[in-house]
Chains A and B, each alone.
Chain A
Amino acid sequence: MTHITRRDFLISGAALAAAGALPTAWAQQRGPLRIGLITPLSGPQEFIGSYVKNGAEIAVDQINKAGGVLGRQLALVTRDDKANPAAGVAAARELLTDGVNLHIGVISSTVTLALGPVMQQDNGVLLTTGAGTEKMNHENYTPNVFRIGDSPDARARGQARLMAQRYPNVTRWTGLIPDHEYGRTTWAIFVDGLLEFYPALAGKKPEVLDPVLMPYGVSDFRNSITLAMRQSADGCFNSTYGGDAITMFQQARGFGLVQRYKILVDAANEFLIARGMKSAVPPMWTGMHYYPEANKGNPMSDRFIADYTAKTKDAEPMGWAAEAHSAIYALARAIEKGKSAESKAVIQNLKGLTWDTVTGPRTLRPEDNQAIKDTELVFIEPANTEKGYQVTQYVKVDGRSVIFPPSPGKAMTFRKP
Chain B
Amino acid sequence: MMPAEARAARNRFLATLLCVVVAGAIFPSVANRGLVFIAGLLWINVVFGLAFNLLFATGGILSFGQAMFYAVGAYAASVLSLRLPELPFLWALLVSGLAGAGLAVVAGTVALRRSEGVYFAVLTLAFGELLHIVITKSTLLGRNDGLNGIRRPVIDIGMLHLDFSAGDAFYYFILVVCAFLVGVLWMVTHGAFGRALLAIRQEAQRAEFLGMPVQRYRLIAFAISGAITAVAGALAAPWLQIVTPDLARWSNSTNPILFTLLGGSGFFWGPAAGAAILSVVFYTTRTLAGIADLATGGMLLVVVLSLPGGVLGLLNAVRQRATRRHSGTEAADG
Contacts and interface: CB of A to CB of B under 8 A. Distances in A.
Q: Are A and B close enough to touch in the complex, i.e. CB under 8 Å? A: yes
Which among A79, A92, A114 has the greatest number of chain B C-beta atoms within 10 A?
A114
B277 to A, nearest CB: 17
B149 A97 contact: no
A182 B289 contact: no
Interface string B28-40: 0010111111100
A188 B332 CA distance: 71
A113 B242 contact: yes
Contacts of A8: none
A91 B34 contact: yes
A95 interface: yes
A110 B289 contact: no
B176 interface: no
B286 A91 contact: yes
B307 interface: no
Contacts of B38: 90
Interface residues of B, number: 29
A89 interface: yes
Contacts of A53: 289
A417 B286 CA distance: 48
B288 to A, nearest CB: 8
Contacts of A182: 144
Nearest to B38: A90
B103 interface: no
Given A79-B286, A85-B242, A86-B240, A180 B292 contact: no
B190 interface: no
A48 to B, nearest CB: 13
Contacts of A97: 32-34
Which among A89, A90, A117 has the greatest number of chain B C-beta atoms within 10 A?
A90
B33 A96 contact: yes
Interface string A162-183: 0000000000000000001110
A82 B246 CA distance: 12
Given A110-B146, A133-B145, A90 B34 contact: yes
A251 to B, nearest CB: 22
A293 interface: no
Contacts of B37: 89-90, 93-94
A110 B242 contact: yes
B30 A17 contact: yes
Contacts of B291: 42
B148 A113 contact: yes
A295 interface: no
A110 B145 contact: yes
Interface string A61-86: 00000000000000000111010111
B320 interface: no
Contact of B136 (A91, A118, A135, A180): A180
Nearest to B236: A86
Interface string A37-57: 000011100100110010000
Contacts of B144: 109-110, 180-182
B287 interface: yes
Given A42-B292, A94-B34, A86 B286 contact: no
Contacts of A279: none
A117 B290 contact: no
Given A94-B35, A182-B144, A79 B287 contact: yes
A17 B241 CA distance: 30
Interface string B4-42: 000000000000000000000000001011111110010
A43 B292 contact: yes
B232 to A, nearest CB: 13
A79 B286 CA distance: 6
A109 B148 CA distance: 12
Interface string B145-161: 11011000000000000
A178 to B, nearest CB: 10
B143 A114 contact: no
Interface string B267-302: 000000000000000000011111111000000000
A98 interface: yes
Contacts of A78: 287, 289
A102 B287 CA distance: 18
Interface in A174-218: 180-182
A94 B35 CA distance: 7
A79 B145 CA distance: 22
A140 interface: yes
A181 B32 CA distance: 35
A344 B242 CA distance: 25
Contact of B290 (A42, A116, A180): A42
Given A41-B289, A42-B289, A93-B34, A109 B240 contact: no
Contacts of A92: 34
A84 B245 CA distance: 11
Contacts of A113: 145-146, 148, 242
Contacts of A180: 136, 143-144
Contacts of A95: 34
Interface in B16-73: 30, 32-38, 41
Which among A42, A78, A84, A117 has the greatest number of chain B C-beta atoms within 10 A?
A42
A53 B288 CA distance: 12
Nearest to A95: B34
B244 interface: yes
Contacts of B240: 85-86, 89, 114
A98 B146 CA distance: 29
A95 B32 CA distance: 10
A203 to B, nearest CB: 38
Interface of B: 30, 32-38, 41, 136, 143-146, 148-149, 240-242, 244, 246, 286-293
> Ordered nearest first, which 7 A-B pairs have the shortest CB separation?
A94-B34, A41-B289, A97-B32, A93-B34, A42-B292, A181-B144, A114-B242
23 contacts: A41-B289, A41-B290, A42-B293, A53-B289, A79-B286, A80-B288, A80-B292, A85-B240, A85-B244, A86-B240, A89-B242, A90-B41, A91-B286, A93-B34, A94-B33, A94-B35, A97-B34, A110-B242, A113-B145, A113-B148, A116-B148, A117-B148, A135-B145
Interface of A: 17, 41-43, 46, 49-50, 53, 78-80, 82, 84-86, 89-98, 109-110, 113-114, 116-118, 122, 133, 135, 140, 180-182
